Structure 1
Amino acid sequence: MIKVLHNDTCPICAREVAAYARQADRAGVALHVDGLEQAAEWSLTPDSAARSFRVEQDGQRHEGLEAFRLLWSHLPGWRWLARITGLPGVHWLADRVYRHAAAPVLYALHRRRQRRLDRTH
């Protein structure tokens, strides 16, 4: 079984993980998806969980690009991306793009949504 922890309050993240879940189901891959409400089960706060994508398999936890690569390697149609992002130069670049651009931007959008929600309640 592969467990996924993602920011389910992020529309982009939620759509992406829902697509992975549909593909996993069709391929017979056991996938369990957790959102921010389950962050404590991963020994994280919801805020820290919202900062990065995480996957667990066989008790091993992976974060960021490595989490994506592990998940992709089990999904038909995505294995090619797991292989390509494992190549030394591509891995280095993809990891930095995720850690220094994609994840921070998605987290900033999350914080913005949270502030908006806090003001309305």
Structure 2
Amino acid sequence: MPAPLLLAYDPACTLCCRMALWLARRDRQGLLLILPVRDPELLVLAPELGGRPVEKEIHGLDLGTREVRAGAELLRPIAQRLPGWRWVAPVLAIPGFPRLLNRFYLHWAAWRFRRTGRQPFA
């Protein structure tokens, strides 16, 4: 069983909030710890996230290895922790696929700020 994965999401982003709720509902084994980026406990639990652009894109920390990932790089570790979604993890490891997904994710992340007129680090 993998160690829990801490996920830091932007609570000002509607889609981020919906995804956090979707993930929380599927996390039947308690392997995802999902916190808003402004939660005071975040840097206590994950000092490795200090100084990172956590409001620009979702960030995660494997609480076992202390490895930090961001954006689409989190899809595989998330899939590995969700029952019924583990079959997706090998697909997400296909060479070049994670890079393609990350390009799409970064494009979407920039779009959400343009759409709302909010600055990423406000």
- What TM-score, normalized to structure 1? 0.74
CA RMSD of aligned residues (A): 2.5
- What TM-score, normalized to structure 2? 0.73
Moved more, 81-90 or 54-63: 81-90
Q: Which residue of 2 aligns with 1:82?
A: 89
Partners of 2:58 and 2:5 in 1: CA distance: 13
Which structure has the highest helix share of the two?
1
Partners of 1:74 and 1:36 in 2: CA distance: 21
Structure 1: tracts of 5 or more residues without a match? none
CA contact (8 A) 1:7 1:35 kept: yes
Of all paired residues, the percent bearing the same amino acid is 23
The 5 Å alignment of 1:1-121 reads 1-24=4-27, 26=28, 28-38=29-39, 41=43, 42-44=49-51, 48-57=53-62, 58=64, 59-99=66-106, 101-109=107-115, 112-113=117-118
CA contact (8 A) 1:64 1:98 kept: yes
